Structure 1
Amino acid sequence: MRFTRRQWVGASVVGIIGLVVLAALVVVGARALVSLDPVRAFVTQHPGEYPLPDGAPVGIPAWLGWQHFFNTFLIVLIIRSGWQVRRQKRPIAFWSPRGEKRRKMSLTVWFHLALDVLWIANGVLYVVLLFATGQWMKIVPTSWEVFPNALAAGLQYAALDWPTHNGWVNYNSLQQLFYFTTVFIAAPAAIVTGARLSMFWPRTADRLNRLLPFDAARRVHVWTMIYFLIFIAVHVALVFATGALRNLNHMYASQDTVNWTGFAIFVASLVALAAGWVAARPAVLVPIARLFGDVRVVPVPTQGRAR
């Protein structure tokens, strides 16, 4: 069943109104909950973060800012191309390894996989540097105190009473749990399920195929994409809602100050992302894909004219 544009608009409006009402109810409920003496005492006892281990680094190094930019650039294009793969009915071109015409994939799938390879390489480098520099201590929980502090931070967020913390030194526990989940659970899940869906997965590996059936991998892959979309939306919203200039300076300028430097770099990164978005079209992708294999462009059918 296909919806008309008017139906999509109507459903979107209803959905937005529903989300606003739900958000308002959450805020009212959280404020009422936090006003209770036992809950207030709990939040006082657990301020939202716990001390990092001795020797934890202070600050955000420049390499982490660059990693953040490359990851953002790639993940946005990966999500876009992945959605195009699901929606595309008639590929405009096919890519195949040289000398293997039978093993072909659409140009959109090839682009999606090429981005995946770059994203994985960037992620591996990130994890290596994370543990080599001690930055892992900021996103990997090192105490069971992370859970009550995460709950306290969540209550403060829900009540619109933002947790007071300095991300230059330490993330609050809710952030830490989400960063850990994103890096060490969601990302590997996306990689494994994506590999299962690709043409490079060994089809004759019966045990592997039983452990990870195709349909299950596809469902997990889609839900992982949805998780990333939600994470990105919430992450960006909180960056701007909890001190945009300082937060952007932390990530893009590697400095704990309040000025417009990080914002300017952030805008430049958006321009680069927009350029990549526009460039991701057949006229650009076909020549690049031909460097790594054979590309066959599908002729566009011409409509017959009435005589």
Structure 2
Amino acid sequence: MPAFFPYWVVVLHFLNIFLMFLLFRSGLEVLSAFPKLYWHDDCPPGREWLRLSKKMYGADSRRPWTSLDEEESWSPVVALPGRKNLGLGRHWHFMTVQFWILTGAVYVGLVVATGYWHYLVPTRWGLVPDSINSIGTYLRFEIPPKIPGQPFEPAQKLAYFVVIFLLAPFQIATGAAMSPSLLARLPWYGTLFGGKQGARSLHFLGMCAFASFIVVHVFLVVVHGLPEELAAIVLGDAGADRRLALGVGLSGLLAIVVFHVVITWFSLRYRRRTQRLLGRMVDPMEKVLSRTASSHQAYRQQDISPYHRVNGYPPPGQEYAAMAVDDFRDYRLMVGGLVGRPLSLSLQDLRALGDQHQVTKHNCIQGWTAVAEWAGVPLARLVAEAGPQEAARYLVFYALDDKGLTEGEGRYGFFYETIPIHLATAPQTILALDMNGAPLPIEHGAPVRLRVETQLGFKMVKWIAAIEFVAGVEDIGMGMGGWREDQQYYARAAGI
């Protein structure tokens, strides 16, 4: 049987604290983009079970609004990095979660290998009533006795078991159930949690459970005797020098605080550097998901959401308005770049290339979802028609909307996005011309929008004007792979 606190427990305990605070703060940044929680994937406005915002929008609102209007700007004191930086918050969150899972895997491996599991895993059902008795003892302001031959009393042991072997895997499972690539490949997985919104709500509640555990855990450390407990936790020996333990413990906590101050300042001051640095650790995971997952979605007509949010205002120019009034009869989709046959296609030409219907779930990067029926041209048909050259590796989609006019907030330029050619030829990647049995509405991207069902919504360009086949994206825009990547520091791949 190992010592009560072997050094590997001390080290991994500190690493877990370090990583958990990164996850908390970056998770709050992600939540601030859509601070509303639902139990159903339709996300009807006003029907959320929790709203962490004063903003109120309704499906029948007289004033046009988009989901970006629901975003909150939370303080960098609580969110990492704060101030409406969803892209960077996601980078921090997904970078951290990889190390948190690795730390947990190492911990569990050592727990099993060293026999430490005897301290953590209940071996009899009687531990449950014993834990209830222990809690009652605490409520009488007394300290319950430890389990004979073990370092914990029953409630402690049961709590550690739940947190390590149940709550942590639960957080990983619910986090995975929010990935559009995973949900598109395995639609049944999301149903285990009531859909993506159910998983999102459960993930939030899991975070609250972790936070509550930390508060109670720290309180009990104080109750049980701070000097001895601190010496055991920090130095692995309850009888060690308590002044040294206090100094090391406070230094470790101070280091965590300083680290958070520095990375928050750095992230807000050097956003592009932060995007590039964290992207080196996050992008490979997203690319693997994007490449290996193909969409197998087949929702039913009755699953279609009664209300489907929009993200972004339509192009305000007179040219677009004139086309819309004339039902886009003069519209032409220009296709060029590294192709054997440049194309100029009307809506009628596009419809002649094929017709594919699919009922799929839209996953916005902010967090909301909705199910709709989309119909249009399989993009693979257009790719074949254009005949891409061997050097062509990406497709660039140029939109008609000038974000400097429709979005503002210091951002500018006409919207564009890129996808690798393997996504362009995926089975459920289409150029949508219809939505829910009718021509595509203006607010949802008329006359043509992209649907890539394994990706987040920002990749699905609306109001498409042209498509270009290119060898790389480094010379397009600011070179990060898309308008959101350029100006909001999103990841290039969008599978999680």
Q: TM-score, normalised by structure 1?
A: 0.69
Alignment correspondent of 2:101? 120
Mapping for residues 213-252 of structure 1, pairs under 5 Å = 213-252=195-234
**Structure 1 alignment gaps of length 5 or more:** 1-55, 92-104, 301-307
Residue in structure 1 matched with residue 274 of structure 2 by the alignment = 285
Coordinate RMSD, CA, aligned: 2.5
In structure 2, list runs of 5 or more residues that go unmatched.
Answer: 34-70, 74-85, 284-479, 490-496
**In the alignment, what sits opposite 1:276?**
259
Residues 254-279 of structure 1, C-alpha deviations (whole Å, 9 max, x = no match): 11216222222211111121123113
- Retained in 2: the 8 A contact 1:203–1:209? no
User: Counterpart in 1 of 2:49?
Assistant: none
Q: What is the alpha-carbon distance in structure 1 between the residues aligned to residue 132 and residue 237 of structure 2? A: 29
Greater fraction of residues in strand: 2
Structural mapping, 1:152-167, within 5 Å: 152-165=133-146
- Is the aligned partner of 1:176 residue 2:176? no
Tell me the amino acid that sits aligned with residue 170 of structure 2.
A
Higher gyration radius (CA): 2
Q: CA deviation digits over 1:92-137, x for unaligned, max 9?
A: xxxxxxxxxxxxx822112111111110000000000001011111
Output the amino acid matched with 1:289. L
CA-CA distance at 1:166 after TM superposition: 8.8
In the TM superposition, residue 179 of structure 1 has moved relative to its aligned partner by: 0.4
Is 1:145 equivalent to 2:126 in the alignment? yes
Q: For residue 54 of structure 2, what is the aligned residue in structure 1?
A: none
State percent identity of aligned pairs. 27
Distance change in 2, residues 1:255/1:222 (3 Å): same
Partner letter of residue 298 of structure 1?
Answer: Q
The aligned amino acid for 2:217 is H
Matched, 1:85 2:30: yes
Name the amino acid aligned to 1:255.
D
Deviates more, 1:289-298 or 1:145-154: 289-298
Q: Does 1:65 align with 2:65?
A: no
Report if the CA contact (8 A) 2:174-2:203 is conserved.
yes
Structure 1 match to 2:464: none
Looking at structure 2, the residues matched to 247 and 267 of structure 1 have their Cα atoms a distance apart, in angstroms, of 14
* SS of corresponding position for 1:203: helix
Q: Distance in 2 between matches of 1:148 and 1:90?
A: 44
Greater RCO between the two (CA within 8 Å, min separation 6)?
Answer: 1
Q: Deviations over 1:151-185 (max 9, x none)?
A: 22111111111124499942111001110100111
Question: Within the alignment, does 1:266 sit opposite 2:249 as a pair?
Answer: yes
- Taking a change above 3 Å as real, the CA distance of residues 291 and 58 of structure 1, as seen in their structure-2 partners, is closer
In 2: Cα distance, 1:166 partner to 1:257 partner: 20
Task: Give, in whole Å, the separation in 1 of the partners of 2:138 and 2:182.
Answer: 42
Q: Quick check: which one's helix share is greater? A: 1
Find the aligned partners of 2:277 and 2:147 in 1 and give their Cα distance: 44
Shift of the 127–200 alpha-carbon distance from structure 1 to 2, 3 Å rule, reads farther
Give the stretch that moved more between structures: 115-124 or 196-205.
196-205
Amino acid of the structure 2 residue aligned with 1:243? G
Instruction: Name the TM-score, length of structure 2 as normaliser.
Output: 0.44
How far apart, in 2, do the equivalents of 1:169 and 1:266 lie?
24
Q: Which piece of structure 1 moves more, 146-155 or 171-180?
A: 146-155
Tell me by how many angstroms 1:81 deviates. 0.8
CA contact (8 A) 1:59 1:168 kept: no
